[in-house]
Structure 1
Amino acid sequence: MPRMIALISAMWLLFGSAAAFAADDKKEVNIRPDIAGVEVQTEDGPVTIERIQDTEHEISGYFAKTSRACPPFCIQPAQVADGVATIGELELLDMLADEAAIVVDARTVDWHAEETIPGALNIPYTEIAGRLDELGCTGSSGAWDCSNARNVALYCNGLWCGQSPTAIRAMLRETYPADRIFYYRGGMQAWKILGLTTVEGGL
């Protein structure tokens, strides 16, 4: 826990000053008191992530569900693996605004195409062990050199979703450094509960 707190504090110091954060006194629902939105780059151009301004808004549909059959939709542990830090929305926003970091939507293509977090790269959990070159490793599956691996945050559908934890374990098996992996445990469900911007994913 002390390592995680120190890491998150360091991320705020490192990324906070460079991130594309914007304050807006006119907005009622901000991300933080001093931040109304965060601009991130996507394949379709810049997108500003902000919260829905309607204070009566409630989520509906799939992500409003509280209960899913377990297995397979079981509650995931707060720490998915030794050395991998679990992060929240503010830290994920820092990583989205940092050009050196990568945020991975580890869900299958159909989920990503329907709705995703702006700026996220889709690498399905079933494919990630063979695509680590997109995250800074060299070589090929079973023989990766990840000495220059980038900081990567992974997410899936929510606290009950096993896709990003499965992807993280696959990365670790392929020698990806644990201290460069970050787990956004809340995933799409927490993101939507907070009213944060989503977009359709690119195919």
Structure 2
Amino acid sequence: MQRLAVFFGLIWFALAGSVGYAQDSEVVVKIRPDIASVEVNTADGPVTIERIQDTEHEITGYFAQTSRACPPFCIQPFQVAEGVATIGELEMLDLLADNQALVIDARTIDWHAGETIPGSLNIPYTEIADRLGELGCTRTGEAWDCANAAPVALYCNGLWCSQSPTAIRAMLREGYPAERISYYRGGMQSWKILGLTTVEGGL
């Protein structure tokens, strides 16, 4: 059992070194005990994702709000659709560091422009069914052929936000393979609660 743990530890160390993970013994608030930050590529150049180092920091503003009228702001199910994986922050960071994967901010452009996760692409949930070509699908007449679709992760504002679940269901209706879709259910609210880096979205 100990050999197995060492083996997997070595695999993780090798992967971490190849996808932009940084280790720093001086950092107090790390992403994981062995990872202080992750560098991701964005349209504006590399961005380092790390956690806020102030251990007294608290979120304020919109994402500090816990209760919104339901409907429309109802708690979303953990599994948005059969075959679609629900993921957390560590898996999001892995996807952001993966050149073959795309992280989709499924919110409307005003939300994305104000604040977003570095390296994410804004495709609003109202437009995604018509923009699958940006995700590796091709049009064949009136239908999409998604045989070469990219692995994607979608997110919106939080556990109570229906924009990314709506986008995922639209993608599935158009033929996007469920096994290539991940749902970051925590969205912006969970990302900010953990003090992870955000940036202004490109227009």
Task: Give the TM-score normalised by the residue count of structure 2.
Answer: 0.92
Alpha-carbon contact 1:113-1:202 (below 8 Å) kept: yes
Partner letter of residue 135 of structure 1? L
Distance in 1 separating the partners of 2:126 and 2:140 = 16
Paired residue for 2:4? none
Paired residue for 2:42? 42
Count of residue pairs the alignment pairs up = 192
Residues 1:177 and 1:39: Cα distance change in structure 2 (over 3 Å): same
Residues 1:141 and 1:21: Cα distance change in structure 2 (over 3 Å): farther
Paired residue for 1:96? 96
Paired residue for 2:179? 179
Partner letter of residue 191 of structure 2? W
Instruction: Compute the displacement of 1:19 (Å).
Output: 1.5
Paired residue for 1:79? 79
Distance in 2 separating the partners of 1:195 and 1:126 = 29
Paired residue for 2:114? 114
Alpha-carbon contact 1:15-1:95 (below 8 Å) kept: no
Paired residue for 1:145? 145
Percent pairwise identity = 77
Distance in 2 separating the partners of 1:197 and 1:85 = 24
Partner letter of residue 138 of structure 1? T
Paired residue for 1:7? none
Partner letter of residue 118 of structure 1? P
Query: Deviations 1:63-99 (Å, cap 9, x if unpaired)?
Result: 0000000000000000000000000000000000000
Partner letter of residue 75 of structure 1? I
Query: Deviations 1:96-144 (Å, cap 9, x if unpaired)?
Result: 0000000000000000000000000000000000000000000169410
Residues 1:142 and 1:187: Cα distance change in structure 2 (over 3 Å): farther
Partner letter of residue 21 of structure 1? Y
Distance in 2 separating the partners of 1:47 and 1:71 = 36
Corresponding residue SS for 1:110? helix
CA RMSD, Structure 1 to Structure 2 (Å): 1.5
Corresponding residue SS for 1:144? strand
Instruction: Compute the displacement of 1:18 (Å).
Output: 3.0
Residues 1:141 and 1:126: Cα distance change in structure 2 (over 3 Å): farther
Structure 2: 5+ residue runs without aligned partners?
A: 1-11
Distance in 2 separating the partners of 1:51 and 1:28 = 9
Paired residue for 1:3? none
Corresponding residue SS for 1:154? strand
Structure 1: 5+ residue runs without aligned partners?
A: 1-11
Paired residue for 2:126? 126
Corresponding residue SS for 1:100? coil
